[in-house]
Amino acid sequence: MALAAACSDPHPQSTFDTHGPVAASQANIFYIIMYAGLVVFIGVMALLIYTTIRYRRRYNDKDPEQIHGNNTLEIAWTVAPALLLVAVAVPTIQTLWNNSISPEPAAMTVHATGSQWWFEFEIEELGVVTANELHIPVGEVINFVLESTDVIHSFWVPKLAGKVDMVPNNTNTTWFKADEAGEFFGQCAEFCGESHANMRFKVVAESREDFDAWVAAQLADSVVPVDPLVQQGHDLFMSIEAGCWACHTIRGSANAFGQVGPDLTHFASRRHLASGIMENNHENLVRWLTDPNDVKPGNVMSRDAAVYNDPDQALSEPQVAALAAYLRSLE
Amino acid sequence: MTSLSVPMIKRPVHPVGAWGWITTIDHKKIGIMYGITAFINFLIGGIEAIIMRAQLSGSNADIVSPEVFNQLFTMHGTTMIFLAVMPLGAAFFNYLIPLQIGARDVAFPRLNAFSYWVFLAGTLMLHLSWFMGEAPNAGWFAYAPLTSTAFNPGHGVDFWIVSLQVLGIASLAAAFNFIVTIINMRAPGMHMMRLPLFTWMTLITAILLVLAFPVITVALLELLFDRNYGMNFFFTAAGGDPVLWQHLFWVFGHPEVYILILPAMGIVSEILPTFSKKPLFGYSTVILAGVIIAFMGWLVWSHHMFTVGLGPIPNTVFTITTIAIAVPTGIKIFNWIFTIWKGSVEFRTPMLFAVGFIVTFTIGGISGVMHAMSASDAQQQDTYFVVAHFHYVLFGGAIMGIFGALYYWFPKYSGKMYNEGQGKTHFWLMFIGQNLTFFPMHFLGMDGMPRRIYTYGADMGWTEVNALQTAGSIVIVLSVLVFMKNFIQSWRSGKQAPGDPWDARTLEWSISSPPPEYNFEEIPIVQDRDDWWARKRGLVPRIAPSGASGDGHGIHMPQPSFWPLVAAIGIFVGAWGVIYSVPVLIIGAGIMIFGVYAWSFEPVNDPESEASTASGDAN
């Protein structure tokens, strides 16, 4: 249901359509300064338009009086804007400080890590590691610790909170809370290289029960394959030839403990693939596995994996089908 | 001394044709060369923008690859800031400053020529990166560690570094020159509080340049050493700090913004009084506001870094300093409007641009204050909202001002009148086009569209607004085409311009259009802030000027020189060497040292030349 609602949302990253207290407070400040700005703009334009029309040169105009200035007026338009600015600065700074620390104890701390071009989410206290799709309980404060493994990224879910950068060698923190259930779009907001545009993620806010169920499912080991095609895909994944295991973790498997790419233990449970840029279905997965560089130009897998950077070792169509079947089995 | 000068090539004494331009040290010719080169750069940057607008006109478009798109926005930003807006300002500094202060040339004419040729070298360096297949791709502020060799192999970023270093030399040479010129070369009676506003803003801009460029020079050197000599300033894997780059860049970068806009403010402060037939309202206040803006420009750099995680204390401080800048900016806007108040307003093309500047710059100023609200800026940072903001101040502000200047002083530098109808068409197309292109960006930003993305999905709700913006950008293209037609045709075959077609107020209008090589036959004795106006209206007594008078005989002008060009060629060659090979660098350094050496020992005038006594004949 939540998914259906999100899909029909015509503005999935609107900063006006807020669903959490942080984003709401920021929108509030924006409205204050926007209306103040609008009043100033209308006032200045009215004065400008009146002046330019009223004092247009007329036939046989004489030289106008050579006025050099007026101290009273100039003091007035120095002091008045200064007072207006003080008036808008006060709520801004209040909000800035209010948002700097969460007002209530957090339900959990999520370590969010940016890499070119995907997000990892680790909930240490629960033992959950996932990628590009974070589930959170509705109405509870979530703290975030933000880091980066390579270049600067920025963590941003417009409907829940403004962005905070993920800076290598620096640790930043932020927090947000979702007031209601739904799927919220997130996107990297700091230019981070070739596929910056393709670095997205989703936050799924759900009831406490649904969230607990999700955590329980995430904690389980991967299922053992039964279907022969799935078995074939599993074997390929774990083979020296394809080498997927070298970079990806699939908990419960014999040798897939790679740390470079996203954890795939519950890959099939995610709604999107390739860091939130397309729906996680069979066709898209086949497209991704066949030519990841076409989907997300410059990505590390197509650069470093032999099956993608060496045409002689490219995956055949049946191999892709088997791999897709295996990955889609990882509920 | 002559024995030390290099005798291989004869000193150009009365060069004509291309050689005359290449060896010129006349500030007016250099200004024109600056202007034409910078305008070509403006067109190149515009083409880059149009390709990006095409790519973004619809969702999931596939006109350019992401890599090329990244190169396009990097080059568009770098080109427009360093190769178009800054040197277009410099073109007017060159052409106008001596004319406005009643001087015959700048303080260091050959340094001025050197500045132009080095600027050209930097320009060529940057554009040639396209042809080397390695255009820079890390954005115009090139955040570390995306610029490190680990994430950015190849020479793209090196081209960017070296080009900016070379351009920095040009800017510094020009800035020192203008500071000295304005302080030392003023005509008698032209004391500081009589300087035309454009000259004042030039002085402030030049001081900002001198103070800001060393910061970027240091940052660029550190980056160059990181990339090429294994240093660790910003290389995070070895413990470098990427936030240091941001501080260095923006300590330079924010004053740079004022370097771009202050000349336009000066231009508007010249145009409005002329076409209102009134002196500038609150002359000293406008100057003081400019000085305060320039000073405060140093105190606000971290507002570019509100989301970096500096914490609430720095964000509070920089919120306060940033909104404080709105006060002197607002003062200027009100003073401009009250310059028109009770005036006799004539809407010639320059006046349209000046009033249009007030409108668009006010919008950019207000969205700037919106950005200053650090609490809510977390939503707008790095979105199209900020793209909207800086295009309102740089296109709606700086570029509008510069086009106003191109029309206002057209009679002066070309000696011809432009076509008024086409000028007005240009203004309206450009005014509508830019608002159509840039205003919707505010909404896109608030709708969550990050800047610098080469594509977006159809489900994001951004498609229609983007299509509208692309349509707007085509209107801007049309307006520029109208300008170019008008400009070229009028310069070739426009009506002869009188010396003072606008009944203007400042000294440059007291001489013929175009001015003679020596500018002022007799150095004027300045008695009033708007001296030419006062003289025309008989408000000041006529004082017999000092010095010779007549047809220009006996006026000593320095002779042309090609050594500045030689030194600049050395810098160009050496810059290539920095990127590609050390021996080439050494050769380049050799050429430069040779050029500077020969230049140092070159006398102002060749004593063997008969022309040294009457170069006023030379035109």
Identify from B137, B243, B379 which residue to disrupt to test chain A contact, counting A C-beta atoms within 10 A and taking the largest count: B379
Which pLDDT score is estimated for B613?
42
Q: Contact at 8 Å (CB) between A281 and A312?
A: no
What ipTM was assigned to the predicted interfaces of this complex?
Answer: 0.94
Helix (H) or strand (E) holding B434, with range, is helix B420-446
Contacts of A57 in chain B (CB under 8 A): 277, 344-346
Name the β-bridge partners of A257. Answer: A249
From chain B residues 344-403, the ones with a CB under 8 A of any chain A CB are: 344-347, 355, 358-359, 362-363, 366-367, 369-370, 373-383
Q: How far apart are CA B373 and CA B319, in angstroms?
A: 6
Residue B464 touches chain A, beta carbons under 8 Å: no
Calculate how close chain B gets to A113, using CA atoms only, in Å: 15
Dihedral sign computed on CA atoms, order A304, A305, A308, A309: positive
Residue B341 touches chain A, beta carbons under 8 Å: yes
Q: How far apart are CA B442 and CA B440, in angstroms?
A: 5
Dihedral sign computed on CA atoms, order B592, B593, B599, B602: negative
- pLDDT tens figures, A306-318: 999 999 999 999 9
Q: Contact at 8 Å (CB) between B498 and B513?
A: yes
In the predicted model, what is the mean pLDDT of residues A235-254?
92
Which pLDDT score is estimated for A8?
65
What single DSSP character describes residue B243? Answer: H
Which residues are CB-contacts of B88 (< 8 A; sequence separation ≥ 6)?
B34, B35, B38, B39, B42, B402
Residue in chain B nearest A300 by alpha carbon:
B151
Copy the structure tokens of residue B316: 């509070």
The helix/strand/coil state of B460 is helix
Which pLDDT score is estimated for B554?
66
Dihedral sign computed on CA atoms, order A124, A125, A127, A133: negative
Residue in chain B nearest A76 by alpha carbon:
B331
What single DSSP character describes residue A191? Answer: -
Q: How far apart are CA B390 and CA B118, in angstroms?
A: 28
Residue in chain B nearest A74 by alpha carbon:
B331
Residue A271 CA neighbour count, 13 Å, CB half? 19
- What number of other Cβ atoms are within 10 A of residue A282's Cβ? 12
Average pLDDT, chain B: 92
Identify from B52, B193, B307 which residue to disrupt to test chain A contact, counting A C-beta atoms within 10 A and taking the largest count: B307
- What number of other Cβ atoms are within 10 A of residue A277's Cβ? 22
In this complex, which of B281, B308, B324 lies closest to A69 when CB atoms are compared? B281
The helix/strand/coil state of A157 is strand
Identify from A167, A175, A200, A287 which residue to disrupt to test chain B contact, counting B C-beta atoms within 10 A and taking the largest count: A167
Contacts of A156 in chain B (CB under 8 A): 450
Inter-chain residue contact A70 with B338, CB threshold 8 Å: yes
In the predicted model, what is the mean pLDDT of residues A89-102?
93
- State the count of interchain CB pairs (< 8 A) between A and B: 276
Inter-chain residue contact B315 with A96, CB threshold 8 Å: yes
Q: For residue B546, what are the CA distances in angstroms to A40, A74, B499, B520, B523?
A: 51, 39, 22, 12, 7
The DSSP string of B253-278 is HHHHHHHHHHHHHHHHHHHHHHHHTS
The helix/strand/coil state of A203 is strand
Calculate how close chain B gets to A309, using CA atoms only, in Å: 18
Inter-chain residue contact B66 with A298, CB threshold 8 Å: yes
Which pLDDT score is estimated for B615?
41
% of chain A residues with pLDDT over 70: 98
Residue B279 touches chain A, beta carbons under 8 Å: yes
Inter-chain residue contact A170 with B243, CB threshold 8 Å: yes
Which residues are CB-contacts of B322 (< 8 A; sequence separation ≥ 6)?
B300, B303, B368, B369, B371, B372
Inter-chain residue contact A150 with B151, CB threshold 8 Å: yes
Burial B162-199 (b: 16+ CB within 10 A, else e): bbbbbbbbbbbbbbbbbbebbeebbbeebeeebbbbbb
pLDDT at A2 over 70: no
Calculate how close chain A gets to B488, using CA atoms only, in Å: 30
Q: How far apart are CA B520 and CA B505, in angstroms?
A: 16
Q: What is the mean pLDDT of each run of 10 residues along chain B (619 residues)?
A: 50 76 91 97 97 95 94 97 96 96 93 96 96 92 93 93 96 96 95 96 97 96 93 90 95 96 97 96 96 96 95 95 95 96 95 97 96 94 97 96 97 96 97 97 96 94 95 97 97 94 95 92 91 91 62 71 94 94 95 93 69 40
Strands A278-279, A272-273: pairing is antiparallel
The helix/strand/coil state of B158 is helix
- CA B592 to chain CA centroid, Å, is 26
Q: What is the dihedral of CA B207, B211, B212, B218, to 10 degrees?
A: 150
Calculate how close chain B gets to A221, using CA atoms only, in Å: 33
Which pLDDT score is estimated for B614?
42
In the predicted model, what is the mean pLDDT of residues A12-26?
95
Long-range contacts of A102-106 (CB under 8 A, 24+ apart): A102/A141, A102/A143, A102/A175, A102/A177, A103/A141, A104/A141, A105/A141, A106/A140, A106/A141, A106/A142, A106/A143, A106/A175
Which pLDDT score is estimated for B546?
56
Inter-chain residue contact B65 with A297, CB threshold 8 Å: yes
Query: Hey, which bits of B94-192 come out as E strands?
Result: none
In the predicted model, what is the mean pLDDT of residues A74-98?
94
At B88, the amino acid letter reads L
Q: For residue B326, what are the CA distances in angstroms to A82, B174, B307, B367, B430?
A: 8, 29, 22, 11, 26
Inter-chain residue contact B379 with A26, CB threshold 8 Å: yes
- pLDDT tens figures, A255-285: 889 999 999 999 999 999 999 999 999 999 9
Q: Contact at 8 Å (CB) between B563 and A89?
A: no
Long-range contacts of A69-78 (CB under 8 A, 24+ apart): A69/B281, A69/B282, A69/B283, A69/B284, A69/B285, A69/B335, A70/B281, A70/B282, A70/B338, A73/B334, A73/B338, A74/B282, A74/B285, A74/B331, A74/B334, A74/B335, A77/B330, A77/B331, A77/B334, A78/B327, A78/B330, A78/B331
The helix/strand/coil state of B416 is strand
Q: Contact at 8 Å (CB) between B119 and B167?
A: yes
Inter-chain residue contact A45 with B453, CB threshold 8 Å: no
Residue B193 touches chain A, beta carbons under 8 Å: no
Q: For residue B93, what are the CA distances in angstroms to B88, B105, B565?
A: 9, 12, 20
In the predicted model, what is the mean pLDDT of residues A180-189?
96
Which pLDDT score is estimated for B557?
79
Alpha helices (H) in B528-619, listed in sequence order: 531-536, 563-580, 582-600
Question: Which among A20, A3, A1 has a CA at the least distance from the CA of A158?
Answer: A20
Residue B454 touches chain A, beta carbons under 8 Å: yes
The helix/strand/coil state of A154 is strand
In this complex, which of A14, A85, A93 lies closest to B447 when CB atoms are compared? A14
Which pLDDT score is estimated for B502?
95
Q: How far apart are CA A198 and CA B619, in angstroms?
A: 60
Which pLDDT score is estimated for B616?
40
Which residues are CB-contacts of B462 (< 8 A; sequence separation ≥ 6)?
B59, B444, B447, B449, B456
Inter-chain residue contact A68 with B279, CB threshold 8 Å: yes
Average pLDDT, chain A: 93
The DSSP string of B2-17 is GGGS--SSPPPSS--H
Q: Contact at 8 Å (CB) between B38 and B91?
A: yes
Which residues are CB-contacts of B448 (< 8 A; sequence separation ≥ 6)?
A11, A12, A13, A14, A15, A158, A185, A187, B383, B460
Residue in chain B nearest A155 by alpha carbon:
B307
